[in-house]
């Protein structure tokens, strides 16, 4: 939906700029923006999601306060205004705004929701309707790490590394990765020694390697986790290696591709190998035979 809005703006601007002043184009863009804000505040569930997605795409910093209000939802627990996917999308939109005014309200929303997450809550889903609150809270933690640095944000993320739920711990590591402070590496390394869950281990290693950006012991430990029996862990590790974009990952990604039997993991490995190599691989994987 929001893509259609963007196309309309583009076509309108392309048509009017030769005739009308730049002020008219700005006026039109403002009108479209406020239409999206109105949908975010009073629209149906689908309209709210589309509006948050649109605001993320255009990254208009005027939207920070309306997005924060929408993130809070309302006091009716089962209301669609509190749906995890809507909170997830709003958190992603706020992450690209890069505004310190959003730090405290986002932390407050995290603390409100965090207590509802159980150790056994799972982040798996098949469609956006299946999103549960653990996925939304994880995204909120990543968003907190994406804001301008604040000690309060760092303290929240460090504390979340001890949460009973493994996905929340992994998301906290992602938040510290987004924060990108070398001062957190030692703490992450100590946390890694105590961590039992492989998915969270991969996230912590990803954070360390992302911050240091060197092919050291942490990097090779991360590569070794491509051998995990858990397909979700292998998927997560592949994404991490593509993200840090170190050439040394090529060998490990190629080796993993030779034995990977899960299609979604194979597809991800190919994408990440292409990033490391700096070009797109063929659509069809080559099968080697002796």
Percent of the residues in the chain that have a pLDDT greater than 70, as a whole number: 88
Which of left, alpha, beta for 149 (phi over 0: left; psi -120 to 50: alpha)? beta
* Model confidence, pTM: 0.87
Angle at 108 between CA 107 and CA 111, to 5 degrees: 85
pLDDT value of residue 1: 58
Using pLDDT thresholds of 50, 70 and 90, give the confidence band for residue 284. Answer: very low
pLDDT value of residue 283: 46
pLDDT single digits (tens) 5-62: 555 555 445 554 454 567 787 788 889 899 999 999 999 999 999 999 999 999 888 9
Write down the H helix ranges in 43-165. Answer: 45-58, 64-72, 84-95, 103-114, 133-146, 151-160
Contact call for residues 257 and 274 (beta carbons, < 8 A): no
pLDDT value of residue 286: 42
Identify the residue with better confidence: 176 or 129.
176
pLDDT value of residue 129: 87
Percent of the residues in the chain that have a pLDDT greater than 90, as a whole number: 79
Pick the CATH number of 2-179 from 1.10.8, 3.40.50, 1.10.3470, 1.25.10: 1.25.10
Using pLDDT thresholds of 50, 70 and 90, give the confidence band for residue 290. Answer: very low
User: What is the DSSP secondary structure assignment for residue 74, as one 8-state letter?
Assistant: -
Residue 119 tokens read as 């150790």
Q: What's the burial of 172, exposed, middle or buried (CB within 10 Å: 0-12/13-18/19+)?
A: buried
pLDDT single digits (tens) 139-170: 999 999 999 999 999 999 999 999 999 999 99
Using pLDDT thresholds of 50, 70 and 90, give the confidence band for residue 126. Answer: confident
Map out the domains of the chain as residue ranges: 2-179
pLDDT value of residue 288: 38
pLDDT single digits (tens) 2-21: 555 555 555 445 554 454 56
pLDDT value of residue 23: 76
Average pLDDT, the chain: 90
Q: Is the pLDDT of residue 176 over 70?
A: yes
Q: Which residues does 287 contact at the CB level (< 8 Å), separation at least 6?
A: none
What are the backbone angles phi and psi of residue 199, rounded to the nearest 5°? -60, -45
pLDDT value of residue 287: 42
Residue 73 tokens read as 């939802």
pLDDT value of residue 2: 55
pLDDT value of residue 281: 47
């Amino acid at each position: 939906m929001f893509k259609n809005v963007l196309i309309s703006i583009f076509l309108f601007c392309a048509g009017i700029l030769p005739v009308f002043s730049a002020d008219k184009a700005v006026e039109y863009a403002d009108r479209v923006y406020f239409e999206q804000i109105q949908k975010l505040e009073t629209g149906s569930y689908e309209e709210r999601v589309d509006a948050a997605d649109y605001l993320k795409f255009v990254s208009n910093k005027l939207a920070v306060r309306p997005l924060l209000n929408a993130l809070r939802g309302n006091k009716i627990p089962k209301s669609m205004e509190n749906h995890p996917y809507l909170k997830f999308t709003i958190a992603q939109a706020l992450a690209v705004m890069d505004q310190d005014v959003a730090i405290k309200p986002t932390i407050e929303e995290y603390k409100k929701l965090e207590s509802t997450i159980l150790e056994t809550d799972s982040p798996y889903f098949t469609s956006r309707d299946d999103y549960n609150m653990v996925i939304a809270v994880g995204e909120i933690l990543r968003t907190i790490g994406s804001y301008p640095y604040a000690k309060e944000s760092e303290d929240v993320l460090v504390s979340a590394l001890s949460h009973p739920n493994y996905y929340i711990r992994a998301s906290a590591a992602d938040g510290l990765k987004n924060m990108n402070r070398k001062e957190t590496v030692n703490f992450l390394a100590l946390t890694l020694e105590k961590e039992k869950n492989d998915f969270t281990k991969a996230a912590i290693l990803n954070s360390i390697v992302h911050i240091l950006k060197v092919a050291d012991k942490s990097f090779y430990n991360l590569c070794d986790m491509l051998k995990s029996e858990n397909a979700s862990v292998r998927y997560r590790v592949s994404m991490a290696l593509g993200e840090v974009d170190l050439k040394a990952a090529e060998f490990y990604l190629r080796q993993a591709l030779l034995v990977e039997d899960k299609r979604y993991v194979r597809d991800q490995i190919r994408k990440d190998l292409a990033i490391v190599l700096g070009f797109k691989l063929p659509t069809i994987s080559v099968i080697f035979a002796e």
